[in-house]
């Protein structure tokens, strides 16, 4: 590996010494006048292919100021020959407020090839800070890197991105069947939307009959490739299905998938809004219709102050209930931040994903 530009034998002890040396110039002789505050709230392991690493780094840049951690960037380079693993360490710092000391976390960047992957466990495990949460974020698409399983045993939570896979439903199914706490990143991406929708449904002023929904139409923004819009749409419907006791029905045609509710059949239509990379994978609208032809429309849009969510219900052209609320950001970086900071029960994710998979398979045909 390389430390400060010099090639040395890979050793967790040497990496630890290098990490410690990062703080010596800042600490000086008087600890009270230290110009840098070293903060580590947990271990975050990011496993990525080389072509995804720049995107992942951009996401991490937004996450670290909120969740400073010992960060492992584990970059898989399939063309790399031999058993070598190259490593570099540095500090990533930010200033919380004006005139306050910078807060820093530690970054360990390792690059490895197919043969080097088998040594990941021995390199990473000794460097994990004990008694702190450890999160593993796998951003590999369809690359089957079995060695990540050796790291999963140390992790409290595992994040996977089905949207990077050519067979997202198969990957979601593996998450549902996993004995560990595995989540798809889209679950956390949609958390603010789910919370606001649940609050709206509980409002007695809203006369829309959830138990008697007969049709749901969802529109999500697409981006360059991938299937994030379909996954976000399917997971939203899966969440509704779990809460309202819907069960998927085999078949479906003309762009419609069907569930069976305790009150009768429910038709689901999923459409893609115009490609918009800035909002890729976020919802545009959710429209529902109940058995009495009452409508519920939920729309997400940008405002001068950020993002907003609008609700209205009633009959077409005669809305009896309207409400506008501000909404927390829900892009990829925000989803990672929520995943790192917020408790979430894996049972609810699994139940939602299991009900979303048949719909996703139908629309991906």
Positions of CATH 3.30.360 in the chain:
191-364
Within 8 A by CB and 6+ apart from 161, the residues are 138, 139, 141, 184, 185, 186
Name the 3-class secondary structure at 306: strand
The DSSP code sequence of 120-140 is: HHHHHGGGSPTTS-EEEEEE-
Is the per-residue pLDDT at 251 higher than 90? Answer: no
Within 8 A by CB and 6+ apart from 50, the residues are 75, 76, 77, 78, 111
Per-residue confidence (pLDDT) for residue 224, from 0 to 100: 53
Task: Report which of residues 197 and 251 the model is more confident about.
Answer: 197
pLDDT in tens, 8-66: 446 778 788 777 777 665 444 443 445 556 667 889 999 998 888 888 888 888 888 88
Per-residue confidence (pLDDT) for residue 5, from 0 to 100: 43
What is the phi-psi region of residue 101: left when phi exceeds 0, alpha when psi lies from -120 to 50, beta otherwise?
A: beta
Instruction: Give the range among 33-37, 158-162, 234-238, 267-271 with minimum mean pLDDT.
Output: 33-37
Span 353-364, average pLDDT: 90
Span 147-173, average pLDDT: 90
Which band of pLDDT confidence, cut at 50, 70 and 90, is reported for residue 2? very low
Sign of the dihedral defined by the CA atoms of residues 257, 349, 179, 115, in that order: positive
Which band of pLDDT confidence, cut at 50, 70 and 90, is reported for residue 149? confident
Distance CA 326, CA 156 (A): 32
Per-residue confidence (pLDDT) for residue 243, from 0 to 100: 92
pTM of the model: 0.84
CATH architecture of the region 191-364: 2-Layer Sandwich (3.30)
pLDDT in tens, 198-246: 888 877 777 778 888 999 999 887 655 567 788 888 999 999 999 999 9
């Amino acid at each position: 590996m390389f430390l400060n530009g010099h090639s040395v034998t890979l050793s967790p002890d040497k990496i630890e010494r290098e990490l410690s040396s990062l703080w010596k110039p800042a600490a000086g002789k008087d600890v009270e006048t230290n110009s840098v505050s070293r903060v580590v709230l947990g271990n975050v392991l990011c496993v990525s292919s080389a072509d995804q690493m720049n995107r992942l780094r951009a996401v991490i840049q937004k996450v670290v100021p909120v969740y400073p951690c010992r960060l492992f960037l584990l970059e898989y380079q399939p063309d790399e020959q031999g058993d070598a693993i190259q490593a570099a360490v540095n500090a990533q710092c930010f200033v919380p407020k004006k005139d306050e000391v910078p807060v820093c976390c530690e970054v360990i960047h390792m690059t490895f090839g197919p043969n080097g992957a088998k040594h990941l466990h021995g390199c990473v495990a000794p460097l994990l800070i004990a008694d702190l949460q450890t999160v593993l974020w796998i951003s590999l698409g369809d690359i089957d890197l079995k060695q990540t399983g050796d790291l999963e045993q140390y992790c409290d939570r595992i994040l996977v991105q089905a949207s990077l896979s050519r067979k997202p439903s198969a990957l979601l199914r593996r998450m549902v069947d996993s004995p560990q706490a595995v989540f798809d990143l889209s679950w956390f991406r949609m958390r603010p939307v789910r919370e606001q929708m649940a609050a709206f449904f509980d409002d007695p002023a809203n006369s829309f009959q959830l138990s008697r929904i007969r049709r749901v139409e969802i529109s999500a923004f697409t981006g360059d490739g991938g299937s994030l819009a379909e996954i976000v749409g399917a997971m939203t419907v899966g969440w509704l299905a779990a809460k309202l006791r819907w069960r998927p029905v085999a078949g479906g045609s003309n762009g419609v998938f069907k569930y069976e509710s305790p009150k009768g059949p429910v038709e689901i239509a999923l459409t893609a809004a115009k490609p918009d990379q800035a909002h890729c994978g976020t919802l545009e609208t959710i429209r529902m219709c109940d058995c009495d032809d009452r409508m519920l429309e939920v729309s997400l849009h940008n405002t001068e102050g950020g993002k907003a969510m609008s609700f209205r219900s009633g009959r077409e052209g005669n809305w009896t209930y309207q409400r506008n609320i501000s909404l927390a950001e829900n892009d990829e970086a925000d989803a990672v931040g929520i995943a790192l900071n917020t408790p979430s029960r894996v049972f609810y994710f699994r139940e939602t994903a299991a009900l979303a998979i048949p719909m996703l398979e139908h629309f991906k045909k």
